[in-house]
Structure 1
């Protein structure tokens, strides 16, 4: 993982989310992806806060787009690690969120969303 790839990915990720075209977003994710977020628990009622597989991820994000029709992300910063990148972004209500994404063979295989104060809103 290098910073050039991470920055290009984050810019595309932002554009894909802001298009609200869920299939466009999902092209970056492996069929067997695992994703965790406190918003999963909130939107689905599953206290584990985790979805497994692209179909479950699609269902969770479709529900999120239903509930947040004005969704918009602005990437603030990007960090890299071994096979992983972190996207620091501002959402439509001005909250800062961190998306941690781990890649295998060019696709996201694991991810998590980390929230601060915006989780209470």
Structure 2
């Protein structure tokens, strides 16, 4: 199986099943992960995690906070790859209603993820904004 195809299936299966050990095994020791959830979950200003220890902490906390009604893990069987790039989408519209709309972009090297960027669509971004405003109002 080609690296991109392996990562496409293995990452999704481990994430869906909250398998932090399985997920972190897919990352290079010096990997980077960027997501708008990093500042929220890790309570920091920077949205970039560096190295497996930081990424593991983020993935473990994300798994702990689920289930979430907006995370349905729906995707079709399409992914895009070229060179060391792998891309796929979790679209907003699913057969069971809306979900957080995310685009996963990974760069791989030596069969492992070394750069992972997660881009949120308008629906998920609006959810993040509402959540942040609600926390701000509760703190006031």
TM-score bracket, shorter-length normalisation: 0.7 to 0.9
The residue that corresponds to 1:104 in the other structure is 109
C-alpha contact (below 8 Å) 2:7/2:26 kept by paired residues: no
Of 48, 58, 65, the match for 2:46: 48
Of 53, 56, 59, the match for 1:58: 56
How many aligned positions are there?
119
Distance in 2 (alpha carbons) for counterparts of 1:55 and 1:105: 19
SS in 2 for 1:74: coil
Residue of structure 1 in register with 2:82 after alignment:
81
108-117 or 86-95, which deviates more: 86-95
Preserved contact between residue 73 and residue 90 of structure 1 (Cα < 8 Å): no
TM-score calculated relative to the size of structure 2: 0.74
Check the 8 A contact 1:14/1:75 in 2, yes or no. Answer: no
Greater RCO structure (CA 8 Å; 6+ sep): 1
Show CA shifts across 1:72-99 (max 9, x none). 5233331112201012125896122111
* Structure 2 residue runs without a partner (length 5+): 128-140
The structure whose Rg is larger is 2
**Greater Cα offset, 26-35 or 7-16:** 7-16
- Aligned match of 2:21: 23
Cα displacement (A) at 1:31: 0.9
